[in-house]
Chains A and B, each alone.
Chain A
Amino acid sequence: MSNLQEKVKKIFSDEKLDLLIGFEKGTLPLRAAPSFVRKSEDLDKLIFDITCQNNLAKHLLNEIKRNPDQKIGIIAKGCDARAIIHLISEKQLERKKIIIIGVPCCGVISPFKLKNVLNGREVTDCTINNETVICKGKDYEKEISRTDILSGYCLSCQYPNAPEYDYFIGEQTKPAPPEKQFEKVDELEKMTPDERWEYFKKEYSKCIRCNACRNACPMCFCDECFIDRNKPRWVGKGNDISDIMIYHIMRAIHLAGRCTSCGACSRACPMGIDIEALNKRVTKEIKERFGFTAGLDCEKNPALADYKTDDNDEFIM
């Protein structure tokens, strides 16, 4: 039994948890799957490593919606914990019903990046090392640097450890250098508006409207999303570039001051669209204008749900 499994077992019984949400080994090499454990003996299947790409806060929210009376423990990377904390600040979750178990995160794999690094070849066996991942397939073996396959969000992550937790298993990890946080946005800001338009047009024209980005996002919890409104319909569901852009821009704006930069959206995207650029741009704006970073403090009001009499209103004409 690993250290993680052993410690979680103790927490499970000490806290009398009804459910533990974590990760288990997936059916494919280098893929984990969300795991829902209701019996202590099943905790042996828990894992945590760079394959744990999902944001479990989404599943936590769904479980609470299904049955609000459960006491749930959750394995949390920095971003899972931030999403939970932010959802608590938005009164979507109750702090006392959730046991946050922090785990040290060194970033998670982007399946799209991995697929492209391997040029479409699939993995049958793998070894995860400190700096590299060795992938083996039917007729190849390739050692890949972790940084080549980690999610872009992870490479710029400022909060790899849960900012608030009930337990923490392992040693806390170091965040990326601060200048990395908005590196992608900074690059795009250097472009001319025409170049930026071309860039976004190229990226979003790949969209197949599968809504994986929205459905993977813990902050997208509306009972009725604006894109599902059809009386009247606000936005088309097809591949018209205007409809696609409206969807992505509206989603980014709905996430203002709420996005915790987990990157679950971009890792869920089957087309490898750069969703990060737009969402990070909004995050940067909120940070600069309001000095607010989502998901750090359960007690603090979200930026767009707060009011200050001494707000300098500098961007209001």
Chain B
Amino acid sequence: MSKYKLKKNNIENFLNELREEYSVFAPIESDGTVAFQKLDDVKLPDISLKRTDRPPKEIFFPHTEVILSFDDKNAESGEYRGKPIAVFGLKSCDSKSLHILDNVFLDSSYTDTYWYKRRSNSLIFTIGCNNPLPSCFCNWFKCGPFDSTHSDVAVTDIEDSFILEPVSEQGTEYLAKSKYLEKAEEKDIKKAEALKEKAESDMPQPPDLKKLKEILDNNQNDKLWEELAAKCLGCGVCAFSCPTCYCFDIQDDSRRNKGKRVRIWDTCQEPLFTKEGSGHNPRPSQKGRTLQRFMHKLSYMIETQNNFGCVGCGRCVTLCPVNIDIRDFIKKVLQVKGDK
């Protein structure tokens, strides 16, 4: 497939052109925090395209989303009705996270219309990580810094320009009609390939995770869980920074004869998450809650979708207030001899 070159001084034009057809999101830094924000006439992406502090899931699954507005006569769905969404500058771990969430929200038995309306026809530009961060570990989970499997276009930053390679049909179509692309020269492609190789070899070798699920499944009483729970504050930093955590709560907000139904990110780390109407809580301890989160990511999701629920983005690793490091935990689990 042909590769294109986008000169960096043309990025603004390219994104403006993209905006004609799409609602475009890209990493923007404001007040010390990088997040995917919708571009407009004044908002330009942070061209260094850092890993965002906030996960990209919020583009398609907002933190707080009105799913229904109602009054005493009518009710109206809050599903997305805007332009199709394009995201420029997702990392490979993040584009994989969207795929994992597709499996959740669009599985064979149920289509979540709120996710679907935003996600359908979206155009994903995944940028290769020239310099994976020390906290990155995407290569633990059959992914890599330049993995573009779950994208429409693969982008490589070669200093003065970006090299764009279509991955999907939609990506091929879009790139073919853009006014701001030129054909990539052989030397640019070589440069991009060298960056890919360097980034891949720069990442430390991952441990072998073949036995991880089995060890976890058979050792839920191991003292490792106690140790983890003793440290854990039970806050939602990991879940809310995680690109694949998808649990939500639904609340009705109504005043007099008007109201709205909203769905809001929730986390299994909160006791309220499992509290039943009777007041009984089947998961009353932090140990149970911590276990749930790790088991869900590292065992149950293998059963439900044959993927680990972790993409190795490293956000929880750097943000956890008590330094709970999932990499460290996995390594310790792999050393458990098994006591059944």
Contact = CB atoms under 8 A, between A and B. Distances in A.
A122 B318 CA distance: 9
B95 interface: no
A82 interface: no
A228 B236 contact: no
A124 B134 contact: yes
A212 B133 contact: no
B236 A211 contact: yes
A63 to B, nearest CB: 7
Nearest to B331: A27
A33 B233 contact: no
Contacts of B259: none
A58 B231 CA distance: 10
Contacts of A137: 134
A169 interface: no
B66 to A, nearest CB: 9
Interface residues of B, number: 48
Contacts of B32: 112, 115-116, 272
A123 B317 CA distance: 13
Which of A32, A33, A137, A212 has the largest count of B CB atoms less than 10 A from its CB?
A: A212
A267 B286 CA distance: 22
Nearest to A113: B32
Given A210-B240, A215-B233, A26 B323 contact: yes
B4 to A, nearest CB: 28
B227 interface: yes
B262 A238 contact: yes
A58 B51 CA distance: 31
A91 interface: no
Contacts of A54: 321-322
A137 B53 CA distance: 19
A249 to B, nearest CB: 19
Nearest to A24: B323
A233 B324 CA distance: 32
B135 to A, nearest CB: 6
Contacts of B271: 228
A52 B267 CA distance: 27
Contacts of A34: 230-231, 322
Given A33-B323, A36-B227, A236 B131 contact: no
